[in-house]
A and B are shown apart, each in its own frame.
Chain A
Amino acid sequence: GAVVSQHPSWVICKSGTSVKIECRSLDFQATTMFWYRQFPKQSLMLMATSNEGSKATYEQGVEKDKFLINHASLTLSTLTVTSAHPEDSSFYICSARAGVRDQPQHFGDGTRLSIL
């Protein structure tokens, strides 16, 4: 149980392109989803927390107009990187949590984004 699917797993695109990443909880309803970014050999960095049906809460320093998050249903959240630039190249990982706050987060497989 607690399977989280993330798509696509790998994206290579030109600078200026917008890229959408999907995160789905396959066998549970995710009231809260989280988006992380991880640079090589660095730790996970939380970008934002999203709750179904409400606006995402962004961490300090994360541009909400650049990283658009939508959590329209209990099983789907999307992250759109708008007008991506090479410095946005990173490993983006979503996680999902069912129900109460003390439950663990379950991670998707991640999306490796490379901006040329």
Chain B
Amino acid sequence: QKEVEQNSGPLSVPEGAIASLNCTYSDRVSQSFFWYRQYSGKSPELIMSIYSNGDKEDGRFTAQLNKASQYVSLLIRDSQPSDSATYLCAVKVNRDDKIIFGKGTRLHILP
């Protein structure tokens, strides 16, 4: 069973709409969750960290965590063409020192 799963996409969203990116994880005791954005040919850039159930908002981004369902999501409001990128979900595995990355969801914002 894959530890962190994401739909690979591409997910196409009209400019100005809300983009919703989802991620599920298998390790029930995971405590730390991260969303990274990666542009083609570039390294990942941290967007959000979330550690407790509920919503966490930062500008146009909202991360949502539901530990009971083992699910974390990222909402991007007022999507812009510059948001077009691959979004990586990452989960800190408590038994270990590393974080596990999903394969990423390619997001395409349509102008």
The 4 closest A-B CB pairs, nearest first, are: A110-B43, A43-B103, A107-B43, A102-B32
Size bracket of the B interface: 20 to 34
A44 contacts which of B31, B44, B46 (Cβ < 8 Å)? B44
* Nearest B-chain residue to A57, judged by Cβ: B97
Query: Does the CB pair A102–B44 fall under 8 Å?
Result: no
Q: A-B pairs with CB below 8 Å: how many? A: 47
Query: Does the CB pair B49–A104 fall under 8 Å?
Result: yes
Query: Does the CB pair A44–B34 fall under 8 Å?
Result: no
Interface: A32 (CB within 8 A): yes
Contacts of A107 in B (CB 8 A): 36, 43-46
Query: Does the CB pair A49–B98 fall under 8 Å?
Result: yes
Contact mask for chain B residues 28-42; partner A; CB cutoff 8 A; 1 contact, 0 none: 000110101000011
Interface: A67 (CB within 8 A): no
Contacts of A91 in B (CB 8 A): 41
Contacts of B34 in A (CB 8 A): 104-105
* Residue of B43, B102, B104 with most partner-chain A CB within 10 A: B43
Contact mask for chain A residues 40-70; partner B; CB cutoff 8 A; 1 contact, 0 none: 0001101001000000010000000000000
Q: A104-B34, A109-B43 are in contact. Are A44 and B88 (CB under 8 A)?
A: yes
B52 to chain A: closest CB distance in Å? 11
Query: Does the CB pair B51–A102 fall under 8 Å?
Result: yes
Q: A43-B102, A44-B88 are in contact. Are A101 and B97 (CB under 8 A)?
A: yes
Interface: A21 (CB within 8 A): no
Interface: A106 (CB within 8 A): yes
Contacts of A101 in B (CB 8 A): 32, 92, 97
* Nearest B-chain residue to A105, judged by Cβ: B99
Query: Does the CB pair A109–B42 fall under 8 Å?
Result: yes
Contacts of A104 in B (CB 8 A): 32, 34, 46, 49, 90, 99
Kindly state the separation between the CA atoms of A108 and B42 in the bound complex, as whole angstroms. Answer: 9
Contacts of A34 in B (CB 8 A): 98
